[in-house]
Structure 1
Amino acid sequence: MTEHDAPTPPAAAGLSRRGLFGLAAGAGVGGLLVGSAATAGVVAASSANQASAAGVHPFFGAHQAGIMTPVQDHLHFAAFDMMAGATREDLIELLQDWSYAASRMTQGLDVSATGAVGGSPEAPPDDTGEALGLPASSLTVTFGFGPTLFRDGSGVDRFGLAGRAPAGFDALPAFLGDDLDPTYTGGDLCVQACADDPQVAVHAIRNLSRIAFGRASLRWSQLGFGRTSRTTADQQTPRNLFGFRDGTANILADDEHALRDHVWVDATAGPAWLAGGSYLVARKIAMTIETWDRVRLSEQERITGRAKGSGAPLSGGDEFTDPDFAATDAAGATRIDATSHVARAHPVNNAGIRLLRRGYNYVDGNTAIGRLDAGLFFLSFQNAPDRFVTVNKAVVTDLMAEYLTTIGSGVWAIPPGAAEGSYVGADLLA
């Protein structure tokens, strides 16, 4: 039997021989990945909450985990490009191998039954081993397909997928405030690994990179810490690096109507293979931390539109009170500046559009001039990329934009979850 004609997908049977070869041949690549990353810094809602309590989230299901899953504390995000000369069969086998490995790692297991210490002492181990003895730590692994997977930058249909691309699916347009670095932009494939232990998240990306050896290569990656959103009512609203609460009005996992209307792709609105999936936008947004830190508190609050301590809108109430953009003070001025962040981002000012956010803070050391190389790694899920475009066009003209520069960007179609015994993307590639 050849490496491509296994009668059952590796998600059920294990890693393909090509995947196992990648684990051995890619040992050096895995080590480099950790080095570079270290410098960079459907289940129902009730089922998700039960899984969170146990620290284990199922990989298989109607939707991929890592979207409405309770947001974990740490992120390792990676974008990959298929290798030159890779075939459609290589892509299928890679997704099968990745799905199998992810289904094990999310249960707290090694990437294969042989694992880190069960194989021949004369061969590289199947698993890198840095997660030995660690629990699953709520690990989720989410896979996505970029526009260039369907047609590359030269317009070439490498994998026979151009006819199955979502209508209008392309790279995001240029926005005011963009200064994109190609080394943090785009990618044929993306992998979002989130966990409550950073070592578990890094372990996942490291091993998926090794498995990809010879078929896909790492384009860029990002470590994130300190989530900047919440997806369940019992999670406290976190703070971003500007010190303000972030994600107060985020879509929650138990809000089925909001998920249906704003997150999941409807069967009538997109290609059949994407029904029940979503779109992921990633934006690496650098913050001018030192400049912000010298802004007086009242101005910071005017820029944001919320009180720094409580998170309440400046129109009054508590953190979860809806902002009243018509409320005025004793002098007759609106309490919330019309160009504040909360005003420009709010659904009432953006045709009712809501995004499910799962962003993280990042700190990548210092810049060449000695400032913090830090900011927000913004992640949002929505059922159409143009919905993000609408909101972002408003946000990039708010008062906070003066302190932000977007240096990385990407958009990926997130297919629905895989059925047990199958793999992510099977409906696209069948």
Structure 2
Amino acid sequence: MTEQTGPSRRRLFGYAGAAVAGAVVAGGATAAGLRAEGNDPVEAGQTRDLTPYGDHQPAIAAAPPKHAELVALNLLGGSDRAALGRLMRLWTADIVALTAGRPAPGDTAPELAVPNAALTVTVGFGPRVFTLPGLTTAKPPGFAELPVMKHDRLQPGWSGGDLLVLVGADDPVSVVHAVRRLVADAAPFAEPTWRQSGFWNGTGPDGRPVTGRNLFGQVDGTGNPAPGTPDFDATVWAEGPEWFRGGTTLVVRRIMMNLDTWDELTRSEQERAVGRKLSTGAPLTGTAEHDDLDLDARDADGRLVIAGNAHSRLSHPSENDGRRIFRKGLNYVRDTGAVRESGLVFLSYQADVSGQFLPLLARLDAADALNEWTTTIGSAVFAIPPGFREGGWLAESLLR
């Protein structure tokens, strides 16, 4: 979740709220776009597909997908700017076809390409891309690998990467198929280094959009800046360098959640750690999910109602010099024999990683109550190029 009070400005966070986020931390009108802005659910006969074209890669401002897979790839030895440009042309052709429900060029399973699945593909570049000859001066300001935090227990198998594809859809088969095509087309240029899959339920029992919950049971993502608003634009879209105008940066944090020890807490203990009610997502000082937090409120014994180390307090913009991010999440489970790992793939979009995300991460790492039940085991950062127009291709202004 995130909280919003006061004016937003460049390099402000879209507060991570009751998420475990920081604990260890444009196309036509479509269903995904409508859901992102909280409008009515899709009528019968309406398409759920997003156009791939626009000033920005379209999935960023859309609602979290029901199913998603992230694949990080490392460039093969000898890859250069020209090779990266060829790959972006290939991937652009794949994206245009698959998001329209058509087989990608050379598709070996064309029957799996179906329309009306709300399929989206987001592509990003890791820091090493900007060490390639001809690209060393193109790195966005503030874009760098995150330092290892005190509570991090990072595993190489979930961290880093030169390239990212993030595929989401309402249908898991569409996700798997699109990932297969994109990875196959990348084979002459790059090979996968990690894969992460997740799921999210952003639809209520009545079919209308809701914020969604993580596996702790918390309503997660309440205070995000609304897509299409000045707050959102100032938080997410980069203003430079010129090739990157309309792009953004993405932080991916794989956060393992200890559900067994969390379940040992009383409900009031869980809510005190978060600073919000589990039933509705309302702050402990309010009655509804979107009520503002009263960070000065005290109980009859003089204690702060929202504890000093509560996640919602430490993440609040007023506690972070107004910084904001735009956060999303994907729940995940991973079974190894009889052992199950559960957690959140936390996704944070912001114009500037160092100026927006890192200060909040450091604050939460130092004092967040949720650190006792969460551990970040993966971390990666990617520069997400702006969108492309019909007849164009991803990162064309950088790589042509």
Specify which of 202, 211, 219 is matched with residue 245 of structure 1: 219
Letter in 1 for 2:348: S
Partner of 2:231: 258
Equivalent positions of 1:136-151 (< 5 A) are 136-151=116-131
Say which of 116, 127, 143 aligns to 2:108. Answer: 127
1:86 and 2:86 are equivalent in the alignment: no
Name the structure 1 match of 2:11: none
1:170 Cα deviation after fit: 1.7
Structure 1 residue 275: deviation in Å? Answer: 0.6
| Equivalent AA in structure 1 for residue 395 of structure 2 | G
1:379 is aligned to 2:359: no
Amino acid across the alignment from 2:236: V
Displacement of 1:296: 1.2
2:245 matches 1:272 = no
Q: Which residue of 1 aligns with 2:308?
A: 338
Where 2:334 maps in the other structure, the secondary structure is strand
Q: Percent identity?
A: 38
Quote the residue 1:176 is aligned against: 150
Query: Which SS does the other structure have where 1:170 is aligned?
Result: coil
Asked whether the 8 Å contact 1:227–1:360 carries over to 2, the reply is: no
Distance change (3 Å), C-alpha of 1:259 and 1:137: same
1:61·1:419 contact (CA, 8 Å) conserved in 2?
Answer: yes
The 2-side partners of 1:228 and 1:247 are apart by 11
1: distance between equivalents of 2:379 and 2:270? Answer: 26
Find 1:389's aligned residue among 348, 352, 358.
Answer: 358
Which of 70, 73, 96 does residue 103 from structure 1 map onto? 96
Aligned-partner Cα distance in 1 for 2:237–2:69: 23
**What's the offset of the Cα at 1:213?**
1.4
Q: Which amino acid aligns with 1:317?
A: T
Q: Say whether 1:167 aligns with 2:141.
A: yes
User: May I ask how many residue pairs the two structures share in their alignment?
Assistant: 361
Aligned partner of 2:187 in structure 1 is 213
Distance 1:313 1:257 in 2: 25
Q: Which amino acid letter does the alignment assign opposite residue 78 of structure 1? A: V
Residue type matched to 1:88 in 2?
R
Amino acid at match of 2:255: I
Structure 2 CA distance for aligned equivalents of residues 280 and 359 of structure 1: 12
User: The residue matched to 2:200 in structure 1 has which SS?
Assistant: strand
Question: What aligned pairs does 1:301-312 form with structure 2 within 5 A after superposition?
Answer: 301-312=271-282
Matching residue of 1:195: 169
- Give 5+ residue unaligned stretches, structure 2: 1-25, 37-41
1:429 equivalenced with 2:399 (yes/no): yes
Q: Write the deviation string for residues 383-405 of structure 1: whole angstroms up to 9, x where unpaired.
A: 10021111111222210011111
What TM-score do the two structures reach when normalised by structure 1? Answer: 0.80
Report if the CA contact (8 A) 1:274-1:415 is conserved: yes
Question: Take 2:28 and 2:308, find their aligned partners in 1: how far apart are those partners?
Answer: 38
Superposed displacement of residue 136, structure 1 = 3.7
CA distance in 2, matches of 1:167, 1:229: 37
Provide the C-alpha distance between the structure 1 equivalents of 2:222 and 2:242, rounded to a whole number of angstroms: 33
How far apart are 1:176 and its partner, in Å?
Answer: 2.2
Contact preservation (8 Å) 2:325, 2:350: yes
Residue in 2 that maps onto 1:235: 209
Deviations 1:239-274 (A, max 9, x none): 1000111111112223x21122111112xxx31111
Larger Rg, first or second structure (1 or 2): 1
Q: CA RMSD in A?
A: 2.1
Partner residue, 2:327:
357
Residues 48 and 117 in structure 2, CA contact (< 8 A), matched pair in contact too:
yes
**Structure with bigger RCO (C-alpha 8 Å, 6+ apart):** 2
Q: 1:229 to 1:402 in 2, by over 3 A?
A: farther
1:418: how far off? 0.8
Cα distance in 1, alignment partners of residues 310 and 86 from structure 2: 48
1:287 maps to 257
* Code of the aligned partner of 2:123: F
Kindly indicate whether the alpha-carbon contact (under 8 Å) linking 1:227 and 1:358 is maintained by their aligned counterparts in 2.
no
- Whole-angstrom distance in 1 between the partners of 2:99 and 2:30: 18
* Contact in 2 for aligned 1:290/1:371 (Cα 8 Å): no
C-alpha displacement at 1:74, in angstroms?
A: 1.0
Aligned match for 1:49, one of 34, 43, 63: 34
Name the CA distance, whole Å, in 2 between partners of 1:285 and 1:191: 19
Gaps spanning 5+ residues in structure 1: where?
A: 1-41, 116-125, 152-156
Match of 1:416 among 349, 372, 386: 386
